[in-house]
Every structure is written in C-alpha cells, then in structure tokens.
Amino acid sequence: MYTVSRAGVLTGVPAATLRKWEQRYGVVAPARTEGNYRLYDDEAIRRLSAMRDLVDAGWSARDAARQVLDRTSVSPPRPQAGATTGDLGALTRCAVDFDALGLHRLLDEELAVGEPTDAVDGWLLPSLAKLGEAWARGEVSVAGEHFASAAVQRRLSRLYDEVPPAPVDAPRIVVGLPRGSRHELGVLAFAVVARSRGLDVTYLGSDLPVEAWVATTRAVVPRAAVVGVPLVEDLPAARELAGALAPLTQVLLGGAYQDRVEGVEPLGHRPGAAAADLALRLHG
C-alpha cells in the first residue's frame, strides 16, 4: 500500500491531481487509514498510470478515466516493423476456432527451427500482435486468446528447456517481469533466443517483487538484468525495479513501453534481434 505522496512518485502525477481524478472520475477508490489518509494498492497505481499516459497522449481526463474503467489494459503500440515470415493470421484463426490440432501443427512449422531469432521476430511477435488486435475488435473471445497464448507459452518453455546449458564461463543475465506484470511471452521469447546464443540465462518469469529481484541479482551477479514492460500499467513497477537494480547491475528494458522508463537502456521492439545483439555484446 502506498501513501498519496508515494503514489505520486510512482505514477508521475501530482498528489492534488490524483485526488481530483478520484473525486471527479472515480478511477480509483483508495483505502483509508485510521487517520483518514489515502492508501493506494498496486491495481490503483496501474490504473492511475494508464490514465496518465492516455492524458499525455491527448485524451481528455474524462475520456481517459472511462477507458481505464472499461478496460484497464491499454493496448500497447505495435512492435517496430521488420521482415515477416509465414501466415500471420493463422494463430488468430486457431484461436477463433479453438483448433488445438491446427495450433499444434502451426507452432511446429513456425517455431521448430534451429535458429529462433527469425521465427520470434518474423512470425511469433507479429502474429501475437494480430491476435491482440482481433481480441480488441471482439473477433476473438477472451477464452480463445488465452487458448492460443497458453499454447505459445508452453511451446516457448519447451524450446527454452531444449537449449543445451551454457558453458560455465558464459555471460549471465537475469530476465523477467516486475511485480504485477503477467504478459510474459515477449520476455520468454527473448530468453529463448538469448539462451540459444550462448548466454547463461536465469529466467524469473512474471510478477516478481522488487525484493526477490534484488536478492536474485545479488546471488547470481549477472552482467545485466533484462526487464519487460509490456503494458502501460507496468510502468510504475518497472521504474521502481530499475531504480533498485541500477546499483547492482546493468538494467536493460524490453516490451512495448520500454522507452517510458528514464535512465535505463531500451533494447528495441524486436526481442529476437535484441537478444542476439546482447549476446554479441557480452561475449565480445
């Protein structure tokens, strides 16, 4: 739980504005202490951050609040364009039809390759973007989107485990998401490519508290910590995590909102190429 002053620091919104958004638009309903002071939880911080980004993008406060209340996961910008391969609509069709056999075959064809960089950047990420757009238009149900995404996650996890272990002296990195962030397909794809390029990857997964990140970083002493920022709601936690890790190791950011965290290096919006470039840099 955060006080109004701490919430202002995490969201980049003055405390007076936070109170105004609460009173005028009902975008959050903070708890109260016995002394009647406001206390904000992680969900409130994510909502307020999403509203701030919409207002910064030119939305009126009223429309931004309505958008956040209707759907707190604001769609991220599309990844940078790159060469694409395969049928980018096939994943969406499998999601619409709940076609398990077709999805299995599709992932076999597109991801069962020796070098995953092109498959990740050229097919997987563009296909996931199309799936997200179809969901936003109502063409794919929530269940259909989860059905396809879960299959992709299982396949990426299998690919990660199938990569031979890195040599003992290989450069080590830690990869994962900050607290509250659960959209891990991008960072998992990054981890697969990084491992295939000979990096010793400690993959931490989703929704990891700052304290756990710090403890792990101190224990394994990585050359870099790679943190995903897939949604606008993840920004407060990503900023807090970057500040905590910066004294311990180099912090690198991926994901759609990587450019919105000041003072750390963004990796770019093609995770496969980013992982390959980082491997070259650390091995060099």
CA 201, 170, 252 angle in degrees (round to 5)?
50
| Percent of all residues in the chain with a pLDDT value above 90, rounded to a whole number | 51
32 phi, psi to nearest 5 deg: -130, 145
Name, in order, each residue with C-beta under 8 angstroms of 15's C-beta and a sequence gap of 6 or more: 4, 5, 7, 8
- Domains plus CATH for the chain? 4-70 (1.10.1660.10), 90-162 (1.10.1240.10), 172-283 (3.40.50.280)
pLDDT value for 83: 53
What is the pLDDT of the chain when averaged over all its residues? Answer: 88
Per-residue confidence at 103, pLDDT binned at 50, 70, 90?
very high
pLDDT at 111 over 90: no
pTM: 0.74
- Can you state the percent helix, strand and coil of the chain, rounding each to 5? 55, 10, 30
Distance CA 186, CA 123 (A): 13
Least confident of 33-37, 46-50, 82-86, 236-240: 82-86
pLDDT tens-digit map of 67-84? 777 754 444 444 444 555
Output 42 or 263, whichever has higher pLDDT.
Answer: 263
| d(C-alpha 14, C-alpha 183), whole Å | 29
Report, as an integer, the average pLDDT of 158-181. Answer: 93
Supply the pLDDT for residue 10.
79
113 compared with 229, residue with greater pLDDT: 229
pLDDT of amino acid 85: 60
Residue 252 has pLDDT above 80, yes or no: yes
Tokens read off for 252 = 């690198």
Point out which residues pair with 284 in neighbouring strands. none
- CA-nearest of 50, 112, 217 to 227 is 217
- Residue 211: pLDDT above 90? yes
What is the SS3 assignment for 160?
A: helix
Q: What is the mean pLDDT of residues 186-212?
A: 95
